[in-house]
Structure formats: structure tokens, C-alpha cells
Amino acid sequence: MKVCVAEEAGFCFGVKRALEIIEQLHEKGQNICIYGQLIHNTTVLDDLKARGIDRIDSLDQLDPVKTLIIRTHGIPKETENLLKSRSIPYIDATCPLVKKLQQVIEKLASTSTQLIIVGDKNHPEIIAARSYATSEFSEPIIINSEEEANDLEYFDRIDVVAQTTLDVDLFNQIAFILQNKTKHFQIHNTICKATQVRQTAIKKLAPNVDFVIVAGGKNSSNTRKLFNIALKQNKNTFHIESSKELFNPYFIRKIEHFNSVGITAGASTPPDEIDKIKNFFEKFTIEKEMNHGRTERNSNAER
């Protein structure tokens, strides 16, 4: 089987940075815990937990001897203010590109524009980023589909921003609809570069292979976007969280007649997980060829 890994896949700059911060503190023997899911990857989170780096979901759970690490998706402004007011030691591992989105929202919300955020209103990044719109001028509107954009009324002025991991094509389609709903329209493309290059790479690879594997957390926004993009190009697209899922006999039956696989992975997927997937299919090829050879030899012997 031909095994191709997308030109850009796996760990992004923001995730690497957060893990490096944690690694350095852990090596120094500092007592730390993480606010929320640091990143959306179970293998990485389990590994941190095994090394005594716990996660808390509310400040009430915080052990006072521990320094709090803020996850890559950020936390709401009011929670950060609470940390400051209670003098709780914390280190901010929010991705700088998520921070940039928060700053853009904070700035625009203090003007008379109608701010529209395109993203998932239940995702931690958007919950945190939305909290930066503290002005009394207008409430930001959060939408996540062309239908929701079509349903909006006319505004004198619109500024639109995006969740950092949004599908680039969806953002462009929504922006196209919104520009007809105002006289003054301004786009702020806050989709991060890592997201854009990973989406472009899988768009290029998916139509040229028999099937696609997208690796990453089921709750990872950028992984789900990669899955949907790949699925549009190739109906034989599979989303897995871990390479262990490949050993499933039902899955093997589905792919055994294919001759090529394309692999991509979300921004929270470690490189060794991508290597395990690649090795699985390379080994799968060798075993398939050996079995084929054995079958041929047996039928020759019978003749």
C-alpha cells in the first residue's frame, strides 16, 4: 500500500509551545496543574496525568501549592481577573494566536460596529474569546453556518472575525453573505496559519489516495474540520483518536482492498502517533504481500 502523510499535519506551534512550558516547569520540579483540557488529545493528557500533572475545571478544585497553567484555548476574561484578584499564581499557555483573536474582539467591541464571530459558541476558545467583548455598545453575534448568516438582519456596519480553527472555505462563504447585509464591511481573518496549511495539505492529498485517515481528538475542533474537508474530497475517510483503533478487524476488512492511504492529523496529535499510523500501514503492506506470496506458492504446489 502506498502511504502518504500530508505535507502539514500534527502538532502546531501553539501546542508545542504549551507543552514546552509544562516540560520546563516539570523538570524544575514545580508543582503545576492545568486549567481545563490543555489540548484536545487523550494520549497527551493521559501522559501528563501519569506524571502527576492534574487538570482542574474550576478554581474551587485548585490546590494552593500548585501553579496553574492556562490551556491553549484560553480562559474567560472574568476568570483571569479572578486569578489576579486572589493572587493565584498562574502561567498563561494560551496560544498567542488565540490571544490575538481576544484582542481583536476586545478592540472591535468598544466601537459602534456589529461584531460577528464565526465559530462554535460552545467551544472553550469561543467562550473565552467572546468574554473579551465587554463593551455596552453591542452584543457580539456568534454564528457557525451559512444559514445563520442568511438569517441575520441588516446592520449599518459589520466586522467579522473567525475561530482560529475554522474551515477557511466556510469563513469565505459566510463573509460573502455578510457583505450584502451592510454598507461598511470589514473582515478580520483570525484563522491561524497552522489551520490553513493543514486544511490546504489535506485538500490536495485526499482526492489522490484510496482512503484517508484523520487522527486527532473527537472533541478537537481543528481535527473535525480536517475530517469534513477530507470527506468532501474522498468518501473513504476515517477519523481515529489513536493508532490502536487501526487494529479493529471491521476496519481492516473495509480497507484491505485499497492500494493507497493519505494520513493527516489535528494540531494536538503528537508526531509519534503519526509515525505509529504510518508504520501500521507500511507493515500492513508487507504482511499483505507475504500472504499473497504464500497463497501463490500454495496454489503452484497444488498444480
Please give the positions annotated as active site: 125
Grid coordinates of 121: 459558541
Choices 145-153, 178-186, 189-197, 235-243 (CB under 6 A): range interacting with ligand SF4: 189-197
- Min dist CB 261 to ligand SF4, Å, is 24
Q: Does 192 bind ligand SF4 (CB under 6 A)?
A: yes
Number of residues that bind ligand SF4 (CB under 6 A): 15
Query: Which residue in the set 6, 15, 126, 162 belongs to the binding site for ligand SF4 (CB under 6 A)?
Result: 15
Q: Does 104 bind ligand SF4 (CB under 6 A)?
A: no
Element (H, E) at 84: helix 77-85
Q: For the residues of 21-39, what is the DSSP string, one character each?
A: HHHHHHHTT--EEEES-SS
Strands of 90-92's sheet, edge to edge? 54-56, 32-35, 67-70, 90-92
Measured from the CB atom, is 209 or 274 closer to ligand SF4?
Answer: 274
Say if CB 182 and CB 156 are below 8 A apart: yes
Q: Does 164 bind ligand SF4 (CB under 6 A)?
A: yes
- Min dist CB 263 to ligand SF4, Å, is 18
Measured from the CB atom, is 15 or 160 closer to ligand SF4?
Answer: 15
Q: Does 182 bind ligand SF4 (CB under 6 A)?
A: no
Q: How many Cβ atoms sit within 10 Å of the Cβ of residue 56?
A: 15
Q: Does 195 bind ligand SF4 (CB under 6 A)?
A: yes
- What would the 3-class secondary structure string for 178-211 be? HHHHEEEEEEECCCCHHHHHHHHHHHHHHHHCCE
Nearest CA-CA partner of 169 in 245, 226, 116, 117: 226
Q: Does 69 bind ligand SF4 (CB under 6 A)?
A: no
Query: Which residue in the set 72, 131, 182, 264 belongs to the binding site for ligand SF4 (CB under 6 A)?
Result: 72
Q: Inter-axis angle of helices 193-205 and 168-178, to 10 degrees? A: 110
Measured from the CB atom, is 53 or 101 closer to ligand SF4?
Answer: 101
Which positions lie near ligand SF4, rule CB under 6 A?
A: 12-15, 72, 95, 97-98, 164-165, 192, 194-195, 222, 267
